[in-house]
Structure 1
Amino acid sequence: MIRMILMVLAVVLAPVAGAACSGQTACTLGDRSYHLRAPDGWDGVSPLPVLLHFHGWGRQGGLIVRHDRIAVRAVAEDVLLVAPNGLGGSWDFRAAGSRDTAFARAVLEDLAARYPVDPDHIFVSGYSYGAYMAWRFVCDDGADIAALLAVAGSFSAGAACDQAPREARQVYGLDDQVLDFPFGPRGETDTPVALWRDRFGCGDGQDQGPWNARPFLTFQRTVWDCPGGHVTLDLHPGGHFIPHDWIPIQVEQILSQRD
Protein backbone atom coordinates (compact mmCIF):
# COMPACT_ATOMS: atom_id res chain seq x y z
CA MET A 1 0.00 0.00 0.00
CA ILE A 2 2.81 2.44 0.88
CA ARG A 3 4.53 1.68 -2.42
CA MET A 4 1.29 2.36 -4.30
CA ILE A 5 0.84 5.70 -2.52
CA LEU A 6 4.40 6.73 -3.38
CA MET A 7 3.86 5.84 -7.03
CA VAL A 8 0.72 7.92 -7.18
CA LEU A 9 2.46 10.85 -5.50
CA ALA A 10 5.32 10.61 -7.99
CA VAL A 11 2.90 10.91 -10.89
CA VAL A 12 1.07 13.82 -9.27
CA LEU A 13 4.14 15.74 -8.16
CA ALA A 14 6.40 15.24 -11.20
CA PRO A 15 4.67 17.90 -13.34
CA VAL A 16 4.72 20.31 -10.38
CA ALA A 17 8.48 19.82 -9.96
CA GLY A 18 8.97 20.28 -13.68
CA ALA A 19 6.87 23.44 -13.67
CA ALA A 20 9.14 25.18 -11.15
CA CYS A 21 11.05 26.57 -14.11
CA SER A 22 9.53 27.05 -17.56
CA GLY A 23 9.16 29.62 -20.28
CA GLN A 24 11.11 32.75 -19.40
CA THR A 25 12.03 31.40 -15.95
CA ALA A 26 15.28 29.54 -16.52
CA CYS A 27 16.16 26.23 -14.90
CA THR A 28 19.49 26.48 -13.08
CA LEU A 29 22.08 23.74 -13.39
CA GLY A 30 25.21 24.52 -11.42
CA ASP A 31 26.47 27.83 -12.77
CA ARG A 32 24.63 27.35 -16.09
CA SER A 33 20.97 27.44 -17.08
CA TYR A 34 18.44 26.41 -19.69
CA HIS A 35 14.85 27.13 -20.66
CA LEU A 36 12.05 24.67 -21.33
CA ARG A 37 8.50 24.52 -22.57
CA ALA A 38 6.15 21.59 -22.02
CA PRO A 39 3.76 20.84 -24.89
CA ASP A 40 0.31 22.36 -24.93
CA GLY A 41 -2.31 20.02 -23.52
CA TRP A 42 0.16 17.52 -22.05
CA ASP A 43 -1.63 15.20 -19.63
CA GLY A 44 1.16 15.41 -17.05
CA VAL A 45 1.93 11.69 -17.27
CA SER A 46 2.68 10.52 -20.82
CA PRO A 47 6.37 10.23 -21.80
CA LEU A 48 7.47 13.21 -23.88
CA PRO A 49 9.66 13.42 -26.97
CA VAL A 50 12.35 16.06 -26.49
CA LEU A 51 13.74 18.73 -28.80
CA LEU A 52 17.07 20.11 -27.55
CA HIS A 53 17.74 23.30 -29.50
CA PHE A 54 20.95 25.35 -29.51
CA HIS A 55 20.28 29.05 -30.14
CA GLY A 56 22.15 31.20 -32.63
CA TRP A 57 25.02 33.55 -31.76
CA GLY A 58 24.13 36.30 -29.28
CA ARG A 59 20.81 34.74 -28.31
CA GLN A 60 19.53 32.87 -25.26
CA GLY A 61 17.14 30.00 -24.65
CA GLY A 62 14.29 32.26 -23.54
CA LEU A 63 13.85 33.32 -27.16
CA ILE A 64 13.69 29.73 -28.39
CA VAL A 65 10.81 28.58 -26.20
CA ARG A 66 8.61 31.32 -27.69
CA HIS A 67 10.11 31.40 -31.19
CA ASP A 68 7.45 31.55 -33.90
CA ARG A 69 9.56 29.40 -36.25
CA ILE A 70 10.42 26.73 -33.68
CA ALA A 71 7.88 26.54 -30.83
CA VAL A 72 4.89 25.93 -33.10
CA ARG A 73 2.96 23.04 -34.66
CA ALA A 74 4.27 19.64 -33.54
CA VAL A 75 6.94 21.20 -31.31
CA ALA A 76 4.34 23.18 -29.36
CA GLU A 77 1.79 20.38 -29.34
CA ASP A 78 3.76 17.18 -28.81
CA VAL A 79 7.34 17.85 -27.70
CA LEU A 80 9.20 19.01 -24.60
CA LEU A 81 11.29 21.87 -25.95
CA VAL A 82 14.56 22.58 -24.11
CA ALA A 83 16.95 25.40 -24.94
CA PRO A 84 20.31 25.64 -23.14
CA ASN A 85 21.94 29.05 -22.66
CA GLY A 86 25.35 29.42 -24.26
CA LEU A 87 28.13 31.21 -22.38
CA GLY A 88 28.49 34.70 -23.79
CA GLY A 89 25.71 33.91 -26.25
CA SER A 90 27.85 31.37 -28.11
CA TRP A 91 29.01 27.74 -28.09
CA ASP A 92 32.20 25.70 -27.83
CA PHE A 93 31.88 23.58 -30.98
CA ARG A 94 35.22 23.69 -32.76
CA ALA A 95 36.85 20.59 -31.26
CA ALA A 96 35.78 17.22 -29.90
CA GLY A 97 35.26 17.02 -26.16
CA SER A 98 33.40 20.32 -25.95
CA ARG A 99 32.45 21.63 -22.52
CA ASP A 100 29.04 22.39 -24.03
CA THR A 101 28.53 18.76 -25.02
CA ALA A 102 28.92 17.84 -21.35
CA PHE A 103 26.62 20.70 -20.36
CA ALA A 104 23.93 19.69 -22.86
CA ARG A 105 24.06 16.09 -21.67
CA ALA A 106 23.66 17.32 -18.11
CA VAL A 107 20.64 19.34 -19.26
CA LEU A 108 19.03 16.21 -20.72
CA GLU A 109 19.68 14.32 -17.50
CA ASP A 110 18.23 17.14 -15.42
CA LEU A 111 15.23 17.30 -17.71
CA ALA A 112 14.61 13.57 -17.26
CA ALA A 113 14.55 14.11 -13.49
CA ARG A 114 11.80 16.70 -13.92
CA TYR A 115 9.67 15.13 -16.65
CA PRO A 116 8.91 11.66 -18.07
CA VAL A 117 11.07 11.63 -21.20
CA ASP A 118 10.67 9.32 -24.19
CA PRO A 119 14.30 8.16 -24.64
CA ASP A 120 13.67 6.90 -28.18
CA HIS A 121 12.65 10.30 -29.49
CA ILE A 122 15.25 12.87 -28.50
CA PHE A 123 15.90 15.41 -31.26
CA VAL A 124 18.82 17.84 -31.39
CA SER A 125 18.55 21.01 -33.46
CA GLY A 126 20.31 24.32 -33.81
CA TYR A 127 20.62 27.41 -35.97
CA SER A 128 23.79 29.08 -37.26
CA TYR A 129 26.47 28.71 -34.53
CA GLY A 130 23.82 26.66 -32.76
CA ALA A 131 23.72 24.33 -35.78
CA TYR A 132 27.47 23.83 -35.39
CA MET A 133 26.89 23.04 -31.72
CA ALA A 134 24.13 20.58 -32.62
CA TRP A 135 26.58 18.82 -34.93
CA ARG A 136 29.24 18.85 -32.21
CA PHE A 137 26.84 17.36 -29.67
CA VAL A 138 25.76 14.46 -31.88
CA CYS A 139 29.35 13.85 -32.99
CA ASP A 140 30.55 13.74 -29.38
CA ASP A 141 27.57 12.11 -27.67
CA GLY A 142 24.83 11.32 -30.16
CA ALA A 143 24.39 7.56 -29.97
CA ASP A 144 20.95 7.88 -28.35
CA ILE A 145 19.72 10.77 -30.49
CA ALA A 146 16.82 10.09 -32.85
CA ALA A 147 17.67 12.89 -35.27
CA LEU A 148 19.87 15.90 -35.88
CA LEU A 149 17.90 18.84 -37.33
CA ALA A 150 20.42 21.49 -38.38
CA VAL A 151 19.70 24.90 -39.88
CA ALA A 152 22.33 26.95 -41.74
CA GLY A 153 25.57 25.42 -40.51
CA SER A 154 27.28 22.04 -40.96
CA PHE A 155 30.59 20.25 -40.45
CA SER A 156 32.95 19.28 -43.24
CA ALA A 157 33.38 15.64 -44.22
CA GLY A 158 36.71 15.43 -42.39
CA ALA A 159 35.51 16.75 -39.02
CA ALA A 160 36.09 14.68 -35.87
CA CYS A 161 32.91 12.72 -35.30
CA ASP A 162 33.00 9.60 -33.13
CA GLN A 163 29.25 9.11 -32.75
CA ALA A 164 26.14 9.67 -34.83
CA PRO A 165 22.38 10.07 -34.50
CA ARG A 166 20.01 7.62 -36.16
CA GLU A 167 19.01 10.25 -38.69
CA ALA A 168 20.34 13.60 -39.93
CA ARG A 169 18.29 16.34 -41.56
CA GLN A 170 19.88 19.56 -42.79
CA VAL A 171 18.49 22.74 -44.35
CA TYR A 172 20.67 25.40 -45.96
CA GLY A 173 20.20 28.50 -48.09
CA LEU A 174 22.20 28.60 -51.31
CA ASP A 175 22.56 32.36 -50.91
CA ASP A 176 23.70 32.22 -47.28
CA GLN A 177 26.31 34.96 -46.90
CA VAL A 178 26.79 34.64 -43.13
CA LEU A 179 27.87 31.01 -43.06
CA ASP A 180 28.59 30.61 -46.74
CA PHE A 181 27.01 27.61 -48.39
CA PRO A 182 29.71 24.89 -48.62
CA PHE A 183 29.68 24.17 -52.33
CA GLY A 184 31.87 21.25 -53.40
CA PRO A 185 34.95 21.71 -55.62
CA ARG A 186 32.81 21.24 -58.73
CA GLY A 187 29.86 23.17 -57.38
CA GLU A 188 28.20 20.16 -55.73
CA THR A 189 25.33 21.06 -53.42
CA ASP A 190 25.24 17.87 -51.35
CA THR A 191 28.34 18.76 -49.34
CA PRO A 192 26.47 19.99 -46.20
CA VAL A 193 25.70 16.33 -45.43
CA ALA A 194 28.87 14.76 -46.85
CA LEU A 195 30.04 13.64 -43.39
CA TRP A 196 26.82 11.69 -42.76
CA ARG A 197 26.75 10.23 -46.27
CA ASP A 198 30.26 8.89 -45.71
CA ARG A 199 29.54 7.76 -42.15
CA PHE A 200 26.30 5.95 -43.04
CA GLY A 201 27.68 4.32 -46.20
CA CYS A 202 25.26 6.11 -48.51
CA GLY A 203 25.03 5.63 -52.24
CA ASP A 204 23.21 7.94 -54.62
CA GLY A 205 20.57 10.22 -53.21
CA GLN A 206 16.99 10.38 -54.40
CA ASP A 207 15.69 13.72 -55.62
CA GLN A 208 12.24 14.15 -54.11
CA GLY A 209 11.57 17.38 -55.88
CA PRO A 210 10.28 20.71 -54.56
CA TRP A 211 8.08 21.23 -51.52
CA ASN A 212 6.80 24.19 -49.52
CA ALA A 213 6.18 24.81 -45.86
CA ARG A 214 4.94 28.30 -46.75
CA PRO A 215 4.09 29.49 -50.30
CA PHE A 216 6.91 32.06 -50.43
CA LEU A 217 9.82 29.61 -49.96
CA THR A 218 10.44 26.44 -51.97
CA PHE A 219 12.76 23.67 -50.80
CA GLN A 220 14.45 21.11 -53.01
CA ARG A 221 14.74 17.82 -51.11
CA THR A 222 17.24 14.99 -51.56
CA VAL A 223 17.20 11.89 -49.33
CA TRP A 224 19.62 9.04 -48.78
CA ASP A 225 18.41 5.75 -47.29
CA CYS A 226 21.68 4.22 -46.18
CA PRO A 227 22.86 1.09 -44.34
CA GLY A 228 23.88 3.17 -41.31
CA GLY A 229 21.13 5.77 -41.16
CA HIS A 230 18.86 8.18 -43.00
CA VAL A 231 19.97 11.55 -44.42
CA THR A 232 17.79 14.41 -45.69
CA LEU A 233 18.99 17.65 -47.29
CA ASP A 234 16.63 20.55 -48.00
CA LEU A 235 18.00 23.45 -50.04
CA HIS A 236 16.35 26.80 -50.66
CA PRO A 237 17.41 29.87 -52.68
CA GLY A 238 17.45 32.23 -49.68
CA GLY A 239 20.01 33.31 -47.14
CA HIS A 240 20.79 32.90 -43.45
CA PHE A 241 17.57 32.32 -41.52
CA ILE A 242 15.39 29.69 -39.88
CA PRO A 243 12.72 28.81 -42.45
CA HIS A 244 9.15 28.98 -41.18
CA ASP A 245 7.91 25.61 -39.91
CA TRP A 246 10.93 23.61 -41.11
CA ILE A 247 11.94 22.30 -37.66
CA PRO A 248 8.37 21.45 -36.56
CA ILE A 249 7.68 19.68 -39.86
CA GLN A 250 10.76 17.46 -39.46
CA VAL A 251 9.71 16.57 -35.92
CA GLU A 252 6.17 15.86 -37.11
CA GLN A 253 7.37 13.62 -39.94
CA ILE A 254 9.65 11.57 -37.70
CA LEU A 255 7.10 11.22 -34.90
CA SER A 256 4.50 10.04 -37.41
CA GLN A 257 6.69 6.97 -38.02
CA ARG A 258 6.34 5.77 -34.43
CA ASP A 259 4.68 2.40 -33.89
Structure 2
Amino acid sequence: MKRILYAIAALMMTAPGAFAMGPWKDGCIDQTPCEIGDRSYHVRIPDDWDGETPMPVLLHFHGWQRQGTLIVQHQRISGATRRRGVLLVAPNGLGRSWDFWRAGTPDVAFARAVLEDVRATYPVLDDQIFVSGYSWGSNMAWRFVCEDGADIAALLAISGTLPQNEDCSTAPGEVRQVYGLGDQVLDFPYGPGGDTEFPVYLWRQKYGCGAGIAEGAWNARDFLTFQRTTWDCPDGDVSLDIHPGGHFIPHGWIARQLDQMLGLPPSYP
Protein backbone atom coordinates (compact mmCIF):
# COMPACT_ATOMS: atom_id res chain seq x y z
CA MET A 1 0.00 0.00 0.00
CA LYS A 2 2.81 2.42 0.89
CA ARG A 3 4.41 1.83 -2.52
CA ILE A 4 1.13 2.70 -4.22
CA LEU A 5 0.77 5.91 -2.20
CA TYR A 6 4.35 6.92 -2.98
CA ALA A 7 3.74 6.30 -6.68
CA ILE A 8 0.61 8.44 -6.66
CA ALA A 9 2.41 11.25 -4.85
CA ALA A 10 5.30 11.13 -7.31
CA LEU A 11 2.90 11.25 -10.24
CA MET A 12 1.14 14.29 -8.80
CA MET A 13 4.43 16.14 -8.34
CA THR A 14 5.71 15.39 -11.85
CA ALA A 15 2.50 15.70 -13.87
CA PRO A 16 2.22 18.62 -16.29
CA GLY A 17 0.88 21.91 -15.00
CA ALA A 18 -2.45 21.19 -16.68
CA PHE A 19 -3.39 18.76 -13.93
CA ALA A 20 -2.94 21.42 -11.27
CA MET A 21 -5.15 24.00 -12.97
CA GLY A 22 -8.35 24.28 -14.90
CA PRO A 23 -11.92 23.18 -14.18
CA TRP A 24 -11.10 19.48 -14.18
CA LYS A 25 -9.53 19.89 -10.76
CA ASP A 26 -13.16 19.60 -9.60
CA GLY A 27 -13.98 16.84 -12.06
CA CYS A 28 -15.18 19.19 -14.81
CA ILE A 29 -13.93 17.42 -17.96
CA ASP A 30 -15.27 15.11 -20.67
CA GLN A 31 -18.55 13.57 -19.45
CA THR A 32 -18.71 15.74 -16.32
CA PRO A 33 -20.24 19.14 -17.16
CA CYS A 34 -18.72 22.50 -16.33
CA GLU A 35 -21.35 24.57 -14.54
CA ILE A 36 -21.92 28.17 -15.59
CA GLY A 37 -24.83 29.78 -13.78
CA ASP A 38 -27.79 27.42 -14.14
CA ARG A 39 -26.43 25.93 -17.38
CA SER A 40 -23.42 23.84 -18.40
CA TYR A 41 -20.97 22.78 -21.07
CA HIS A 42 -18.42 20.03 -21.69
CA VAL A 43 -14.75 20.12 -22.70
CA ARG A 44 -12.38 17.63 -24.30
CA ILE A 45 -8.67 18.36 -24.00
CA PRO A 46 -6.47 17.40 -26.96
CA ASP A 47 -4.16 14.40 -26.76
CA ASP A 48 -0.67 15.07 -25.46
CA TRP A 49 -1.41 18.65 -24.39
CA ASP A 50 1.33 19.86 -22.06
CA GLY A 51 -0.97 21.95 -19.88
CA GLU A 52 0.63 25.24 -20.91
CA THR A 53 0.67 25.73 -24.67
CA PRO A 54 -2.22 27.93 -25.89
CA MET A 55 -4.75 25.99 -27.94
CA PRO A 56 -7.18 26.68 -30.78
CA VAL A 57 -10.80 26.18 -29.72
CA LEU A 58 -13.72 24.52 -31.50
CA LEU A 59 -17.07 25.48 -29.97
CA HIS A 60 -19.54 22.91 -31.29
CA PHE A 61 -23.34 23.06 -30.91
CA HIS A 62 -24.97 19.63 -30.68
CA GLY A 63 -27.94 18.51 -32.75
CA TRP A 64 -31.55 18.23 -31.59
CA GLN A 65 -32.11 15.99 -28.56
CA ARG A 66 -28.38 15.59 -28.03
CA GLN A 67 -26.01 16.98 -25.38
CA GLY A 68 -22.34 17.82 -25.03
CA THR A 69 -21.71 14.37 -23.55
CA LEU A 70 -22.06 12.95 -27.07
CA ILE A 71 -19.93 15.63 -28.72
CA VAL A 72 -16.85 15.11 -26.54
CA GLN A 73 -16.75 11.42 -27.46
CA HIS A 74 -17.95 11.67 -31.09
CA GLN A 75 -15.31 10.25 -33.42
CA ARG A 76 -16.09 12.70 -36.23
CA ILE A 77 -15.86 15.69 -33.88
CA SER A 78 -13.63 15.02 -30.87
CA GLY A 79 -11.71 12.47 -32.92
CA ALA A 80 -10.65 15.40 -35.11
CA THR A 81 -9.96 17.98 -32.40
CA ARG A 82 -8.01 15.85 -29.94
CA ARG A 83 -5.51 14.76 -32.60
CA ARG A 84 -4.89 18.33 -33.78
CA GLY A 85 -4.24 20.13 -30.52
CA VAL A 86 -7.69 21.76 -30.51
CA LEU A 87 -9.72 22.25 -27.33
CA LEU A 88 -13.28 21.04 -27.93
CA VAL A 89 -16.06 22.92 -26.14
CA ALA A 90 -19.62 21.57 -26.26
CA PRO A 91 -22.41 23.66 -24.68
CA ASN A 92 -25.61 21.99 -23.51
CA GLY A 93 -28.85 23.33 -24.97
CA LEU A 94 -31.92 23.79 -22.80
CA GLY A 95 -34.33 20.94 -23.38
CA ARG A 96 -31.62 19.35 -25.56
CA SER A 97 -32.29 21.94 -28.24
CA TRP A 98 -31.40 25.50 -29.26
CA ASP A 99 -33.28 28.77 -29.61
CA PHE A 100 -31.97 30.04 -32.94
CA TRP A 101 -35.24 31.17 -34.50
CA ARG A 102 -35.03 34.83 -33.59
CA ALA A 103 -32.53 37.59 -33.09
CA GLY A 104 -31.57 38.29 -29.50
CA THR A 105 -32.02 34.72 -28.31
CA PRO A 106 -30.55 34.05 -24.83
CA ASP A 107 -28.58 31.14 -26.32
CA VAL A 108 -26.25 33.62 -28.03
CA ALA A 109 -25.41 35.21 -24.68
CA PHE A 110 -25.00 31.76 -23.13
CA ALA A 111 -22.55 30.67 -25.84
CA ARG A 112 -20.54 33.86 -25.35
CA ALA A 113 -20.45 33.24 -21.60
CA VAL A 114 -19.16 29.72 -22.26
CA LEU A 115 -16.37 31.05 -24.47
CA GLU A 116 -15.36 33.62 -21.89
CA ASP A 117 -15.37 30.98 -19.16
CA VAL A 118 -13.11 28.80 -21.30
CA ARG A 119 -10.79 31.74 -21.96
CA ALA A 120 -10.55 32.40 -18.22
CA THR A 121 -9.67 28.77 -17.51
CA TYR A 122 -7.45 27.59 -20.36
CA PRO A 123 -4.66 29.15 -22.41
CA VAL A 124 -6.29 29.60 -25.80
CA LEU A 125 -5.36 31.22 -29.10
CA ASP A 126 -7.76 34.12 -29.48
CA ASP A 127 -7.24 34.28 -33.24
CA GLN A 128 -8.13 30.60 -33.67
CA ILE A 129 -11.61 30.35 -32.19
CA PHE A 130 -13.80 28.22 -34.48
CA VAL A 131 -17.55 27.71 -34.17
CA SER A 132 -19.26 24.61 -35.49
CA GLY A 133 -22.56 22.78 -35.27
CA TYR A 134 -24.60 19.98 -36.80
CA SER A 135 -28.28 20.09 -37.82
CA TRP A 136 -30.11 22.40 -35.40
CA GLY A 137 -26.72 22.97 -33.85
CA SER A 138 -25.55 24.27 -37.23
CA ASN A 139 -28.50 26.67 -37.26
CA MET A 140 -27.43 27.80 -33.78
CA ALA A 141 -23.82 28.21 -34.92
CA TRP A 142 -25.07 30.46 -37.73
CA ARG A 143 -27.15 32.46 -35.25
CA PHE A 144 -24.19 32.91 -32.91
CA VAL A 145 -21.74 34.20 -35.52
CA CYS A 146 -24.52 36.28 -37.09
CA GLU A 147 -24.93 38.23 -33.84
CA ASP A 148 -21.63 37.84 -31.96
CA GLY A 149 -19.07 36.51 -34.41
CA ALA A 150 -16.62 39.38 -34.82
CA ASP A 151 -13.83 37.49 -33.01
CA ILE A 152 -14.60 34.09 -34.55
CA ALA A 153 -12.00 32.83 -37.03
CA ALA A 154 -14.37 30.52 -38.91
CA LEU A 155 -17.83 29.00 -38.99
CA LEU A 156 -17.87 25.27 -39.76
CA ALA A 157 -21.52 24.49 -40.47
CA ILE A 158 -22.93 21.02 -41.13
CA SER A 159 -26.41 20.40 -42.56
CA GLY A 160 -28.08 23.56 -41.33
CA THR A 161 -28.30 27.30 -42.02
CA LEU A 162 -30.45 30.33 -41.29
CA PRO A 163 -32.78 32.01 -43.79
CA GLN A 164 -30.58 33.64 -46.38
CA ASN A 165 -32.30 37.01 -45.96
CA GLU A 166 -31.26 37.21 -42.29
CA ASP A 167 -29.71 40.57 -41.34
CA CYS A 168 -26.44 39.68 -39.58
CA SER A 169 -24.69 42.36 -37.55
CA THR A 170 -21.40 40.42 -37.38
CA ALA A 171 -19.58 37.77 -39.36
CA PRO A 172 -16.71 35.35 -38.76
CA GLY A 173 -13.42 35.55 -40.63
CA GLU A 174 -14.53 32.80 -42.99
CA VAL A 175 -17.38 30.38 -43.54
CA ARG A 176 -17.17 26.68 -44.42
CA GLN A 177 -20.47 24.91 -45.08
CA VAL A 178 -21.22 21.30 -45.97
CA TYR A 179 -24.64 20.00 -47.06
CA GLY A 180 -26.07 16.83 -48.55
CA LEU A 181 -28.28 17.07 -51.61
CA GLY A 182 -30.23 14.08 -50.30
CA ASP A 183 -30.91 15.63 -46.88
CA GLN A 184 -34.51 14.82 -45.89
CA VAL A 185 -34.33 16.20 -42.34
CA LEU A 186 -33.29 19.78 -43.07
CA ASP A 187 -33.84 19.87 -46.82
CA PHE A 188 -31.03 21.21 -48.97
CA PRO A 189 -31.76 24.95 -49.32
CA TYR A 190 -31.89 25.31 -53.09
CA GLY A 191 -32.03 28.85 -54.42
CA PRO A 192 -34.03 30.26 -57.32
CA GLY A 193 -33.89 28.03 -60.37
CA GLY A 194 -32.37 25.19 -58.33
CA ASP A 195 -29.25 27.19 -57.41
CA THR A 196 -27.00 24.87 -55.38
CA GLU A 197 -24.79 27.75 -54.20
CA PHE A 198 -27.66 29.28 -52.26
CA PRO A 199 -26.81 27.75 -48.81
CA VAL A 200 -24.09 30.41 -48.40
CA TYR A 201 -25.81 33.28 -50.21
CA LEU A 202 -26.08 35.34 -47.01
CA TRP A 203 -22.33 35.26 -46.39
CA ARG A 204 -21.46 35.86 -50.03
CA GLN A 205 -23.50 39.05 -49.88
CA LYS A 206 -22.06 40.03 -46.51
CA TYR A 207 -18.48 39.58 -47.72
CA GLY A 208 -19.02 41.21 -51.11
CA CYS A 209 -18.21 38.04 -53.04
CA GLY A 210 -18.14 37.72 -56.79
CA ALA A 211 -18.36 34.53 -58.80
CA GLY A 212 -17.40 31.27 -57.14
CA ILE A 213 -14.57 29.00 -58.22
CA ALA A 214 -15.30 25.30 -58.75
CA GLU A 215 -12.48 23.50 -56.94
CA GLY A 216 -13.64 20.07 -58.07
CA ALA A 217 -14.06 16.81 -56.21
CA TRP A 218 -12.31 15.72 -53.02
CA ASN A 219 -12.64 12.85 -50.57
CA ALA A 220 -11.88 12.28 -46.92
CA ARG A 221 -13.12 8.70 -47.35
CA ASP A 222 -13.57 6.82 -50.62
CA PHE A 223 -17.30 6.27 -50.15
CA LEU A 224 -18.27 9.98 -50.10
CA THR A 225 -17.24 12.59 -52.65
CA PHE A 226 -17.57 16.34 -52.11
CA GLN A 227 -17.82 19.01 -54.77
CA ARG A 228 -16.26 22.22 -53.45
CA THR A 229 -16.95 25.78 -54.53
CA THR A 230 -14.98 28.66 -53.00
CA TRP A 231 -15.26 32.43 -52.96
CA ASP A 232 -12.28 34.68 -52.24
CA CYS A 233 -14.05 37.85 -51.14
CA PRO A 234 -12.99 41.33 -49.96
CA ASP A 235 -14.31 40.82 -46.44
CA GLY A 236 -13.97 37.08 -45.87
CA ASP A 237 -13.69 33.66 -47.50
CA VAL A 238 -16.48 31.20 -48.17
CA SER A 239 -16.43 27.53 -49.15
CA LEU A 240 -19.33 25.18 -49.85
CA ASP A 241 -18.97 21.40 -49.96
CA ILE A 242 -21.89 19.51 -51.50
CA HIS A 243 -22.27 15.74 -51.39
CA PRO A 244 -24.99 13.36 -52.62
CA GLY A 245 -25.80 11.96 -49.18
CA GLY A 246 -28.28 12.85 -46.48
CA HIS A 247 -28.36 14.33 -42.99
CA PHE A 248 -25.16 13.40 -41.18
CA ILE A 249 -21.73 14.61 -40.12
CA PRO A 250 -19.49 13.43 -42.96
CA HIS A 251 -16.48 11.30 -42.04
CA GLY A 252 -13.36 13.46 -41.98
CA TRP A 253 -15.02 16.76 -42.88
CA ILE A 254 -14.26 18.59 -39.63
CA ALA A 255 -10.77 17.08 -39.57
CA ARG A 256 -10.01 18.32 -43.10
CA GLN A 257 -11.22 21.85 -42.33
CA LEU A 258 -9.04 22.02 -39.22
CA ASP A 259 -6.04 20.70 -41.15
CA GLN A 260 -6.46 23.40 -43.76
CA MET A 261 -7.03 26.26 -41.33
CA LEU A 262 -4.21 25.20 -38.99
CA GLY A 263 -1.75 24.57 -41.82
CA LEU A 264 -1.45 20.85 -41.10
CA PRO A 265 -0.96 18.09 -43.67
CA PRO A 266 -4.33 16.49 -44.50
CA SER A 267 -4.92 13.28 -42.60
CA TYR A 268 -7.69 10.98 -41.46
CA PRO A 269 -9.09 10.83 -38.89
TM-score of the aligned structures, taking structure 2 as reference length:
0.89
Aligned residue number for residue 18 of structure 1:
23
Shift of 1:74: 4.5
Task: State which structure, 1 or 2, has the greater radius of gyration over its C-alpha atoms.
Answer: 2
Aligned residue number for residue 106 of structure 1:
113
Q: Tell me the alpha carbon deviations over residues 192-221 of structure 1, each in whole angstroms, 9 at most, x when there is no partner.
A: 000000000000000000000100000000
Q: Tell me the alpha carbon deviations over residues 53-100 of structure 1, each in whole angstroms, 9 at most, x when there is no partner.
A: 000000000100010111123444310000000000100101111101
Shift of 1:13: 6.5
- The count of residues paired between Structure 1 and Structure 2 equals 247
| Partners of 1:95 and 1:160 within 8 A in 2 | no
Written as runs of structure 1 = structure 2, the 5 A alignment for 1:125-144 is 125-144=132-151
Aligned residue number for residue 30 of structure 1:
37
Matched residues in 1 for 2:18 and 2:239: separation? Answer: 40
Shift of 1:161: 0.9
Written as runs of structure 1 = structure 2, the 5 A alignment for 1:102-251 is 102-251=109-258
Over the matched positions of the two proteins, sequence identity in percent amounts to 63
Which residue, out of 62, 65, 84, partners 2:69? 62
Structure 1: 5+ residue runs without aligned partners?
1-10
1:53 aligns with 2:60: yes
Which ranges of 4 or more aligned residues in structure 1 deviate by more than 2 Å?
11-20, 73-77
The one-letter code sitting in structure 2 at the alignment partner of 1:90 is S
1:72 aligns with 2:79: yes
TM-score of the aligned structures, taking structure 1 as reference length:
0.92
Q: Tell which has more relative contact order, 1 or 2 (C-alpha 8 A, sep 6+).
A: 1
| Partners of 1:55 and 1:83 within 8 A in 2 | yes
Shift of 1:252: 1.5
Question: 11-20 vs 148-157, which deviates more?
Answer: 11-20
| Partners of 1:15 and 1:114 within 8 A in 2 | no
The one-letter code sitting in structure 1 at the alignment partner of 2:68 is G
Provide the aligned C-alpha RMSD in A. 1.4
Question: 103-112 vs 13-22, which deviates more?
Answer: 13-22
Structure 2: 5+ residue runs without aligned partners?
1-15, 265-269
